[in-house]
Each structure stands twice: as structure tokens, then as C-alpha cells.
Amino acid sequence: MRVNAGLEGIVVADTEISHVNGEEGQLIYRGYDVKQLARKITYEQVVHLLWKGDLPQQKEEDSWTKIWKEAYELTEEWIEFLKIIPKEVDMLSSLRSILATLDEPASPPTMAQAIKFLVSVPMIIAARYRLLQDLSIVHPRKDLSFAANYLYMLRGEIPSTAHVQGLDAYLVLTAEHGFNASTFTARVVTSTESDLISAIIAAIGALKGKLHGGAPLEVADMLEEIREVNRAEKWMREKLENREKLMGFGHRVYKTMDPRAEALRDVVQKNAKNEPWFQFAVQTEQIALALLKEYKPHRQIYTNVEFYTAAILKAIRLPKELYVPTFAVSRTAGWIAHILEQANHNRIIRPSARYVGCKDKK
């Protein structure tokens, strides 16, 4: 019996939600290339695509928007609960605690229930963040988009168009990515006929692991430590000489440039090309790629999404402690899409293991 560690290369299900083509550097949502989607649609529209199979038509747009507007409600019960959570409890653990108190939706949930659950994630994160900063909580506005509302609830002021566009592109590009660890976790829980809330809480637990959701934070730390372009080569050489990784480069699936990184780079260039931080990030990327080619000539290593995630979240002035929680905000759409698909074609997920322990103890 052959064991594929980490289930690498094992196909466990058919899916119509997304396709990750690692050889050609392509990511497709329901037939659409994400690089094209990031340039022209909003997060609300990509949620419609992931959950319902296609982009909303003109006649559907008004009713779809209405459901979103009606979903925004930050309850006093949540606020009181958030106030009693100790400050040392991290953001994702706080989020799981509040989500566990929500009313259980139908199985499978209605679109209205799913959207209400989805918008609760940024509302809880923003409220928790402001409480930790000793700031008054900002309630959502029904006249703002999903991305604009998130920034508004964090800052207490209407965000700029450039910041909203930057965040929207990030949310679209990271909403879904196949059977990654957190998504697979959500499908496993769903396969037992458990509820949506339990599946999402389990997925958040997987996302909390540093091997899954924390890479953009490490990229930001790396760039802040380098600080200046003229320090980049020396700093990176020392890392490579010590056989350490350069964060933001290389991907387990993509054998060429991560298409999400390419799209995010274009978005940042459009909205923040004159900012010194962006120029620094681009120049540092080029130095890193040259050094990786020098030190690892037999491996082609490219920029991944985490590098430009750090760049774009920095450009829109998002605090570093919100990088991973914001990933949870975006990926909740993909988790729910997979929960719905698993529930509609369900069989309990129950792989086998090869026993390698002793068999003859007395």
C-alpha cells in the first residue's frame, strides 16, 4: 500500500468550483480566469459565481445586492460577548467563539442565511479590533460595498476608492483555491452531515496554522527587516547561505508564477505605483528572484501570492495583525461554496491509513 504524505496527488472528489493549473499558472473560478475577474468584478459578484455557478445577470443584480444590504447587523449580543473575551485571546480564536453562538442555519443554508453568516465575519473582526484599540465600535453601513464596509468598520471613516479597489481585488483573488487544508477540513466536517457553522469554525482552526494562513505576515516582517533596497541583497544572501527560505517565493502547486500574485501586482501598480513601499517591494522581488536563480539553479522558483498580499495590504494601510483574519474574511466565500457542493453530493470522507506499529506485543 503506497502512502501519499499529505494526500499530495490524491484526487478525492470532483468539483465544479475552481481549477488550479499549477503547470501553466492558471486559477479558474467556475470557468473564468481569476486574473480577468480581479480587474472587473466585486467580491459580492464573485460570491454569486462561487455559490450559484455564474456571475449575476443584470436582472439578478438588484435582488442580490438587496440580500447583502439586509444582512448587515452588528448585534449588541455580539458586542457584549466581545467585550468579555480577554485581550490576550487572538483574533481567530475570538472569531470562532462568536461564530459558535450564532443561530444554526438550515442545512443546506439559504442564500440569505449564507450571506448573513459571511458578512458576520468582517463585522466581528472589525469590532474586536476596535475594542482592542480602545476605540468605539463602528456599525456597518448599508450603502457601502463589502470591501468598503470592512475598511469603514475598521477605521471609522469612508475609505478611498483606491483602497476599496485594492481590497476588493485581494478578496476576489483569495476567495477560493481548491482543496487546500482549510477547505478540505470544511468538507470533511460537512461530510459527517454536521452544520455550516461547525464546518467554518473547523476551517478557521486549520487556517490558524502557520503553514497555511500566516505567510503574508512573514513576508511583511521580512520586508520591514530589510527596510531599504540597498540592504536586500546582503540580507537575502545571508538567509540563503544558511539554507533558510525567502518568504513569498515558491509554491507547492504552481510551477510558474502564481497567477494571483501577478494580478495583485497589477492592482497595486495601478493604485499605488508612486508609493515608495511599492517600488521597494518590486525591486526587492527582482533581487530575490535573481538570487534564487543563483543559489538554486536547478529549481525554478517564482513569486507567490503571499508576497503581493503583503504589498497590497500594506498599501491599503491594513495593520499586520489583521492580515490572517482578512484572509479568513475572503476565504469564507470559498469555504461555503465547498460546503454547499459537499452537502449536495455527499459521502462521508473516510480515508485509510497504513499501520506501521508493532503487531505482536504480549
Active site residues: 251, 306
Signed CA dihedral, 198, 199, 205, 207: sign only: negative
Specify whether the CB–CB gap between 271 and 165 falls below 8 A.
Answer: yes
**Which residues, listed in sequence order, are joined to residue 249 by a DSSP beta bridge?**
303
Q: What is the grid cell recorded at 343? A: 452537502
Cα 251 to Cα 257: distance, rounded to the nearest angstrom: 9
Q: At what angle do helices 58-71 and 111-132 cross, to 10 degrees?
A: 50
For residue 27, the SS3 value is: strand
Instruction: Give strand pairing partners of 156.
Output: none
Q: Give the cell for residue 189.
A: 466536517
Measured distance CA(343)–CA(348) in Å, rounded: 10
Query: What is d(CA 330, CA 328) in angstroms, rounded to the nearest whole number?
Result: 5
Task: Name beta bridge partners: 19.
Answer: 28
Measure the CA–CA gap between 331 and 346, rounded to whole angstroms: 22
SS3 label, residue 21: strand
Residue type, 167: L
Closest residue by Cα to residue 102 from 85, 81, 84, 125: 81
Q: Kindly give the residue spans of alpha helices, DSSP state H, lying in 53-110.
A: 58-71, 76-84, 91-99
Write out the three cell numbers for 271.
Answer: 493604485
